[in-house]
Structure 1
Amino acid sequence: MTSHSTATSTLAPAPTPTIAQRVDALDWRRVEHDLDQYGCSAIAQLLTPRECDALVALYPRDELYRSRIVMARHGFGRGEYKYFAYPLPSPIDALRGAFYPHLVPVANRWNRAMDIDVRYPPDHADFLRRCHDAGQLRPTPLILQYGEGDYNCLHQDLYGEHVFPLQVAILLSAPGRDFSGGEFVMTEQRPRMQSRAEVVPLAQGDAVVFTVNSRPVQGTRGPYRVNLRHGVSRLRSGHRHTVGIIFHDAS
């Protein structure tokens, strides 16, 4: 009599998709719809907790940055942020390169609707070349750090003649564990109307794609332009870190 044994095999966990794969797999139809309707779109769990913690751990490494801004010194709010230097850390560079081509169609469509002649190339390197030819040579991706009582005033991240009209922020800290308060806030000013506020709740690793300065809104006589600003409400407790991905460079 022959006995047979069955080997128990353990399946290895599937590898984590790359940042580019995650961005490519997003529901871009929904993102575009949200941007058209609200000027922003939330993306759940873009980064893993480990990736978020690794980015927060970069904050003390001053050699990675070109400048540090203390917001209270400039009337920007309270808290501080640092602009990364070139070459960008690989996750930041990957995020910039992965998002840009998906956002170009929205940016070009919006400019056509607002009668703005500027069109953006499909490749981010070509757009950066346009910025650099105009003297906008300094990288703009940044990491922000807030403590209790800190906040970011409503603002627009422009930096020069060439502006890409969309940007991305990713929350690196966990609400309820690392901090309380500190909500991402946008306001939209329509002509002859009071401002509209939009609060975007985010968890650790969530991203929000949002309007840098203006976007078109369909009116009864065709599209018209509205201006938007963004900021962060006051932190009630703890510490909050965020990464900002801006696609144009600064002069």
Structure 2
Amino acid sequence: MRILAIDTSCGAASAAIVDSGRPEPLAAITRPMKRGHAEALAPIVAEAALSVEGGFETLDRIAVTIGPGSFTGIRVGLALARAMALALGVPTVGVSTLVAFAAPLLSAPRPGVIAAAIDARHGSVYFQLFEASGRPLGPPRCDSLRECVRGIGAGPALLAGDAVNLVAAEAHRAGLPYDLAAGGDAPDIVGVARIGLALDPAQHPPRPLYVKAPDARPNPAEPIARTFV
């Protein structure tokens, strides 16, 4: 099975094409960026497809990160993944960004609690805790750094995600042992593809995983003026 993976949920725009029968990716492109995902993603996906013999027509599935993360980035990735899946007649699978960040720590399990954390701004993080085996210890949530570290318990904490430095600083203050070797601005796109190959599209649809409401909200005290002709 051949899969295209797309990620725009955090600090990069990425695409990879992976064949389940080959150990190495057929194509993998990651461009770090804080903004501009909408303009960058389609050319990156096209570049990846053009580097693979047969291009888009050889794809059997599309995987896309669904968040949590950047509201705009998530919508950009989902929109392109859904449009391509419709055009190509292939299924789409949604991959949690927190699971994608935690995945590299599962290849060589170590004692401790895996804490995948994404910066939610304003002193908060999106996070989810996992056993070293990969079993979730609860659903993803958005909370303060203190609550994230408190949830880890006695540790040690195996940190993953783009907020590892923030969580590590709080863990240090709390005297909690930690390892932040799995940090990064965005999940490994090849890992996203591998996860997408393993998931059932019927059980993991491409729907946004929003853990908190958007920061930008209309002011109810100042309704938008309407002009009637």
Classify the TM-score, shorter chain. Answer: under 0.3
Structure with the bigger percentage of helix: 2
Greater RCO between the two (CA within 8 Å, min separation 6)? 1
What TM-score does the superposition give when structure 1 sets the normalisation length? Answer: 0.25
What TM-score does the superposition give when structure 2 sets the normalisation length? Answer: 0.27
Structure with the bigger percentage of strand: 1
User: Higher Cα Rg: structure 1 or 2?
Assistant: 1
